[in-house]
Amino acid sequence: METVLYDTFGRPLNSLRIQVNASCNFKCFFCHMEGTDENALTLSPEEIERVVAMAADNGVNRVKFTGGEPLLRKDIEDIVRRTRKHVSGDISLTTNAFFLKERAEGLKEAGLNRINISMHSIEREHFVEITKVDALDVVEEGIDAALDVGLSPIKVNFVVLKGVNVHQIGSMLDFTSKKGAILQLIEYETGRSGESAGYYQKYHYDIRVIEDKMLGISTKVEYNSLHNRKRIHVSMPDGGEGVVEIVRPQRNADFCNHCTRMRVTSKGEFQTCLNRHDQLFSFKGKDDNEIFDTFRDAMKSRVPYWREKDEGSYQVLREIS
Which residue stretches of 32-75 are H helix? 45-56
Question: Structure pTM?
Answer: 0.94
pLDDT of residue 38: 65
The reported pLDDT for the residue numbered 225 is 87
Q: How far apart are CA 281 and CA 4, in angstroms?
A: 20
pLDDT of residue 213: 95
Contacts of 40 (CB under 8 A, 6+ apart): 19, 21, 22, 265, 266, 267
For the chain, list the domains and their CATH numbers.
11-118+133-152+260-303 (3.20.20.70), 153-250 (no CATH)
Chunked into runs of 10 residues, the chain (321 residues) has average pLDDT values of: 83 96 93 71 94 97 96 98 97 98 98 98 96 97 98 97 96 98 96 92 95 96 92 96 97 95 96 92 95 96 94 62 49
Residue from 314, 204, 165 nearest 252 by CA? 314
Work out the burial of residue 314: count CB atoms within 10 Å of its CB; fewer than 13 is exposed, 13-18 middle, 19 or more buried.
middle
- H or E segment at 81? helix 76-84
Q: Rounding to the nearest 10 degrees, give the CA dihedral for residues 70, 75, 13, 185.
A: 20
Asked whether 308 and 320 are in contact (CB, 8 A), the reply is no
Question: Residue 5 is which amino acid?
Answer: L
Q: Give residue 3's pLDDT.
A: 79
Compute, in degrees rounded to 10, the torsion defined by CA atoms 207, 259, 297, 190.
0
Q: In whole angstroms, what is the distance from residue 278 CA to residue 190 CA?
A: 15
